[in-house]
Structure 1
Amino acid sequence: MRKEEKGVPDFWLNAMKNHEILAEEIQERDEEALKYLKDIKWYRITEPKGFKLEFHFNTNPFFKNEVLSKTYHMIDEDEPILEKAIGTEIEWYPGKSLTQKVLKKKPKKGSKNTKPITKIENCESFFNFFSPPQVPDDDEEIDEDTAEQLQNQMEQDYDIGSTIRDKIIPHAVSWFTGEAAQDEDFDGIMDDDEDDEEDEDEDEDDEEDEDDDDGDKKVWKPLRVVSCSC
């Protein structure tokens, strides 16, 4: 039984579930743990450049950590390119991991071993967010298919992180009530606000206007590919 806490029950869980991208990441088995989430914060970091997300939890029966963090290191170029992401190692209590499932299989008939065979497999979970894709070293070469798969994973990971930073945290109440999800223009309004803030920091010349049209879709670090020029 959960200890009664101040604040709106399940506030952040429901705010995230009302966003299409995050709703796909949250599994039913994750929800009980996410009910202990009491706050999400983000900070800009300068060395190296990037940003950090912090998920603050009340004491819960799933893991020991009070704070789970995710840090995004960016390459400072003309457009934001993700170099790597680093997540907190979750200290799960025995048998409480939500990122793994235990499978028990009955032994074959006639087998001397009468005990069930236990196998542990990784499974889908929102908490996999804290175990981001690992970027190979600069001198490590990988094949083209692996590079493409890794880049897609990094892009998806950054998309989730930037969604939490730019949409969920500053407009949490609107996502909790469902107003943001029901308003088709809501995302557009937020994107316009972000573009306005970026424009204030940029010089007004044609070259930079063209860069703005490209957006920030390329968010991964170029990888070395065997027999292929990235």
Structure 2
Amino acid sequence: MSNDKDSFNVGDLTAALKDEDRAGLVNALKNKLQNLAGQHSDVLENLTPKIRRRVEVLREIQGKHDEIEAKFREERAALEAKYQKLYQPLYTKRYEIVNGAIEVEGAQEDVKMDQGEEKTAEEKGVPSFWLTALKNNDVISEEITERDEGALMYLKDIKWCKIEEPKGFKLEFFFDQNPYFKNTLLTKAYHMIDEDEPLLEKAIGTEIDWYPGKCLTQKILKKKPKKGAKNAKPITKTEDCESFFNFFSPPQVPDDDEDIDEDRAEELQNLMEQDYDIGSTIREKIIPHAVSWFTGEAIEGEEKEAGLRSTMDNKGRGLLSASNSKMLCVLSEVPCKAKCLRIEEREAVPETSPDKPSVSASDSLEQACMFFFLQTPRNQKVFFSNR
């Protein structure tokens, strides 16, 4: 008995990919899958008939599970799209307030000033809103240099949207007119082979049209001419340098994976993972919770979560137990990064061993929620994202 879902055909995979410019990573993936298919066949052949029959039944069960999972992903995508539409009016209002397009009630009330005090021009909106929000996130702040800050002060808004062909998502950075570059919109698109893993194929960024002498991703070095040289001019040399705006020039994967050695391939993979981490952080943390990053409240939340994780790691992976029954709290992320707590009542697991580390009954509800969130394997959490 065979399971059609487990059959593997390299030709089918090639046909599915032929319309896209799949790079070296895809070739490597096909080779890996081909090897795995061979190993799969060998395992079954080495089993006794009775055990093989049991395994076949298990595979049938897995097939039914996969059908349910596919339906879950379909419904999840529809639910995510629904809530993304509900968020849009809120993001629009945030944009208008941040950029001074509208004024909030009470902000224009006259303030009595001491006699003789000069009135200064009041700034509109919330200056440096996005710059401050980005700098307050550890992942993003590492990419921002002091030179970048001047340009990022002109950042008016950040948005994201899903892209269907190929699958993935796109970040959009809207800039006011500025003295650094001509673009008013910079984009970064992530093309995924598999959104749920995630498996990144490639990333594409906007080419920035810098004004002369304003490029932040390069620096000009000047060397004095040799002594004794007549009418000699300083020697100038241009070098690449660290900058947040390198984000729009992501690592490029060679068309042929044979063109790179193992060390370079590993380095390239690390760069792509780092690049994807930055993009995911902006999409999943900065955009939905921008004001919390601006005020610093999000920093406190991250530090608290890190502290709880460290505490739980020190205690070990144990059961949450207490005498009698108590509430168990499951922390899950709701669709579209709303990040709300969903509290579900569960009967407590009876304590099976006094040696098992536990959270006492006096611990707060919030800590109990966080405990289970941190102890739950990633693939069992409810994440409505590409992470």
Match of 1:227 in 2: none
Match of 1:226 in 2: none
CA distance in 2, matches of 1:141, 1:173: 45
Contact 2:332 2:382 in 1 (8 A): no
- Where does structure 1 lack aligned partners over 5 or more consecutive residues? 199-208, 220-230
Match of 2:147 in 1: 29
CA distance in 2, matches of 1:210, 1:193: 12
The higher relative CO (CA closer than 8 Å, separation ≥ 6) is in: 1
Deviation at 1:136, TM superposition (A): 1.0
> Which residue of 243, 246, 263 maps to 1:128?
246
> Which residue of 19, 23, 45 maps to 2:137?
19
Deviation at 1:112, TM superposition (A): 4.4
Match of 2:198 in 1: 80
Correspondence 1:212 to 2:330: no
**Runs of 4+ displaced beyond 3 Å:** 138-141, 185-188, 213-216
Residue correspondences, number:
199
Match of 1:96 in 2: 214
Query: Match of 1:137, SS?
Result: coil
CA distance in 2, matches of 1:41, 1:171: 12
Contact 2:167 2:192 in 1 (8 A): yes
- Where does structure 2 lack aligned partners over 5 or more consecutive residues? 1-98, 101-124, 309-330, 337-375
Correspondence 1:57 to 2:172: no
Deviation at 1:108, TM superposition (A): 1.2
Contact 1:26 1:126 in 2 (8 A): yes
CA-to-partner distance for each residue in 1:19-72, whole Å, 9 max, x for gaps? 011111000000010000000000011110000000000000000001000000
Match of 1:206 in 2: none
Contact 2:155 2:175 in 1 (8 A): yes
Letter in structure 1 aligned against 2:379: D
Structure (1 or 2) with the greater strand fraction: 1
When residues 84 and 215 of structure 1 are mapped into structure 2, their CA distance, relative to the original with a 3 A threshold, is farther
> What is the TM-score with the length of structure 2 in the denominator?
0.48
Contact 1:107 1:113 in 2 (8 A): no
Contact 2:167 2:195 in 1 (8 A): no
Query: Match of 1:83, SS?
Result: strand
> Which residue of 160, 169, 172 maps to 2:278?
160
Contact 1:13 1:31 in 2 (8 A): yes
Contact 2:194 2:200 in 1 (8 A): no
When residues 66 and 210 of structure 1 are mapped into structure 2, their CA distance, relative to the original with a 3 A threshold, is same
Deviation at 1:138, TM superposition (A): 4.2
> What is the TM-score with the length of structure 1 in the denominator?
0.79
CA distance in 1, matches of 2:282, 2:249: 16
**For the pair shown, which has the larger CA radius of gyration, 1 or 2?**
2
Query: Match of 1:25, SS?
Result: coil
> Which residue of 224, 233, 244 maps to 1:115?
233
Deviation at 1:142, TM superposition (A): 1.3
CA distance in 2, matches of 1:166, 1:159: 10
Match of 2:261 in 1: 143
How is 1:183-202 mapped onto 2 (pairs within 5 angstroms)?
A: 183=301, 184-185=303-304, 193-194=332-333, 196-197=334-335
Letter in structure 2 aligned against 1:41: K
Correspondence 1:46 to 2:46: no
Query: Match of 2:161, SS?
Result: strand
CA-to-partner distance for each residue in 1:169-201, whole Å, 9 max, x for gaps? 00000000000012234689xxx544x549xxx
Contact 1:106 1:117 in 2 (8 A): yes
